Amino acid sequence: MDARTLEQKVQWLIDIEAIKDLMSRYCHGIDKQDEQGFMNLWAPDATYELPRGTGSGIAGINELLHKVWREVPRCHHHITNPLITVEQDEASACTDVIYYRQTADGLLQLLSGTYAMRFRRSDGAWKIRHLTFSAFDTRSPAFTENNAR
């Protein structure tokens, strides 16, 4: 049924793992404000599409990243439910995300959404070529002022 050689199967598993790792790095990079870690994830001709703007190419993506950090000074993303397809040196994924965000005006929200991502392998490394986010709902639980212990 599965006509792939053992080597091909192992490479597919390694590719799936590499793409999951890339998605984790996306979250850690944007949330922990690791600019270099985040920028390393993208292919030179990538497009990054968010409701608050679109960045094309490394300079455009970097500009959008800084806009996000200005407008959303704190965020914490949790990617879930990956569906990944690998075709040679191209791959795509659909995933969900649940995320906390604090906007510049101090509003706190806990929201969910979906990412559509496309990837390309170049010189053996997978990079993001295209990432589009779709919000699931704009309503969030209401946060208390401060309930820390």
* Residue 103 DSSP label: -
Shortest distance (Å) from residue 52 CB to a second copy: 9
- Contacting a second copy (CB under 8 A), which of 60, 92, 96, 116? 96
At position 108, the amino acid (one-letter code) is: L
Binding mask 4-43 for a second copy (x = CB under 8 A): --xx-xx--xx-xx--xx-xxx-xx--x------------
Element holding 78 (H helix, E strand): strand 74-87
DSSP H/E element including 62: helix 57-71
**End-to-end CA gap in the chain:** 57
Cβ neighbours, 10 Å, residue 2: 6
- Minimal distance, residue 17 CB to a second copy, in Å: 6
Residue with tokens 């998605």: 23
Here the tokens at position 65 are: 């990243």
Question: Could you give the string, one character per residue 48-87, with x where binding to a second copy holds by CB under 8 A and - elsewhere?
Answer: --------------------------x-xxxxxxxxx---
Name the residues that contact a second copy, by CB under 8 A: 1-2, 6-7, 9-10, 13-14, 16-17, 20-21, 23-25, 27-28, 31, 74, 76-84, 94-96, 98, 100, 102-103, 107-110, 112, 123-124, 136-149
